[in-house]
Structure 1
C-alpha cells in the first residue's frame, strides 16, 4: 500500500497516491498493474466509506452503501487521468457521490418519481428531522417545513407525497388497527362481470327501441324482471306458446340487425 507523505490534504482519509497513479498509467496490462490498481483502491476506501456515511438512514443499509461507494471508487480510479492536473480526490468525490445517488434513483424507489420530486423529498425529509428536534410531541406542519426549508407549500406537499413513494406496502400487509388480519387486498374491488356485456347492451339498445311496444314489454318482463313465460302470458292475457314465439322472433330479429350493423 502506498505510504502517506506530509503533504496537506483536505481530509485525513486522502492518501498521497500521485506517484502510484503515475506508475499505473505507464504500466502495461497484467498482474503487476492489477496489483497496483488494487492498492490504490484500498488506500482510498476510507474516503468512499465516509461518503457512504452521508447517506445513512435513508432506507438503505450502510453496508450496501459502502459497496456502492466502493464501486464508484473503482470507476474513479480506472477513469482518472493525472495528466489533467487535478487531484484525484477532486475527481473521486463527485464520482462516488454520483454512483450512490444513481443507486438510490435506480434501485431504491419502488415507484418512478421525477428527479425534481426526489430532490423535494430529500429537502422535506431533512427539514422535518431538524424541526422535530425543536417541536417535540407533534409533526411539523406544511407551513413550518416550507419556512424552514425556504420552499413553497406546494413543493412541500409534493415532497411529503414522495416520502410515501420510496417503498411500496405489500397488499398482504395487515392494516394498522385492523382486526382478524384485514389487509389491503381485502379492500380491493374485483372486476364487475357485467362489464363483459356492456358492448352487447349498447349494440342492442337502438334495435330494442325500434320494436313494437308489446314486444318490448315482453322482453323487459322476461329478461329484466325475470318473469316466467307463464306469468307473462297471464299478465298479457295470451297463451304461453304465443309468448315463447314472440320472444324467439324478437331476439332473432334484433340479433340479425346487430350482426348486419357490425358487418
Structure 2
C-alpha cells in the first residue's frame, strides 16, 4: 500500500507541475493589457507557490521565522512571474529559482542585521555560515578558522573579520536582566558626566577672570557665584543698578574675548 501511495503522490506532483507550467506559458503569451491576464496571473502564482515554499525552507534555521522567509520567497516568485519571457528558451523553473533565492538573500543582507555593516561583510558571514555547516558534516567536528579559510580560499584574517562582523547580526535589548537582583543591561551603561566639562571650563575661566580688575571680578562673583540680582549688587557696592549693568556687560565681553583666544 505504501508503494501505491508514493506512486500516487508522485503522479499528483507531476500533474501539478505540468499544470503550473501550462499556466505560466499561457500567461506569458498574453499581452500585458489583455483582460484575462490578471486572473490568469493570480492562478499562475498560486500554482507555483510550492516552489516558493520549498526554496524558503532551504534557508530555515538561520534566525528568521519560516513564515517571514516564505513571504519573501513569494515576493520573489511574483517578480519571476511578471518578468518571465517564454520566448527566451528558458523554462520557468530555471528562471524563477535564482530570482526567488536572490530575493531571500537580499532579505538576509538588508533586513535582518541589527547594526548596518558593509555588504562585503554581510556576504562573508553567509559564506562562513554555509562553510561551517558543510565542514561540520564532512569533518565530523566544528571546523577551525584555518579549515574555513581553506574551504573558502580566503585568508584566516578575513574569516576572523567575518566572524567579528557577524556579531552585528543580532543585538541585545537594554532591558535584558544581567543579575538575580533584576539589574538590567541599560543600568550598567555610563552616561554623560557634566563634571568633566565643568572642570575643563573652570581651568580655562580662572586665568581669564584674573585679567579683570578687582571690581569687575567682584561683580562677576556676586552675580554668578552668589546669585545676586543686579539691584542687590548695586546695593552691595553702593552704585546704581544701571552702572552695575554696564560694568557686568563690559566684564562679560572681556571674558568672552579671553576665552575665544584660549580656545
C-alpha distance in 2, partners of 1:116/1:14?
Answer: 37
Q: 8 Å contact 1:14–1:89 — kept in the other structure? A: no
Q: Work out which of the residue numbers 11, 36, 39 in structure 1 matches 2:40.
A: 36
Report how far residue 106 of structure 1 moved. 2.3
Q: 8 Å contact 1:207–1:254 — kept in the other structure? A: no
Matches within 5 A, 1:103-252: 103-133=107-137, 134=139, 136=141, 140-175=143-178, 178-197=179-198, 200-201=201-202, 203-208=204-209, 210=211
Question: How many residue pairs are counted as aligned between the two chains?
Answer: 218
Q: Please say if 1:66 is aligned against 2:67.
A: no
C-alpha distance in 1, partners of 2:84/2:146?
Answer: 46
C-alpha distance in 1, partners of 2:26/2:145?
Answer: 56
Q: 1:163 to 1:254 in 2, by over 3 A?
A: same
Q: 8 Å contact 2:209–2:255 — kept in the other structure? A: no
Which structure shows the higher helix fraction? 2
Once superposed, what is the RMSD of the aligned Cα atoms? 3.7
Unpaired segments ≥5 residues, structure 2: 1-12, 222-235, 238-247
Q: 1:97 to 1:255 in 2, by over 3 A?
A: same
C-alpha distance in 1, partners of 2:152/2:185?
Answer: 34
Q: Paired residue for 1:235? A: none
TM-score by length of 1: 0.67
TM-score by length of 2: 0.67
C-alpha distance in 1, partners of 2:168/2:130?
Answer: 17
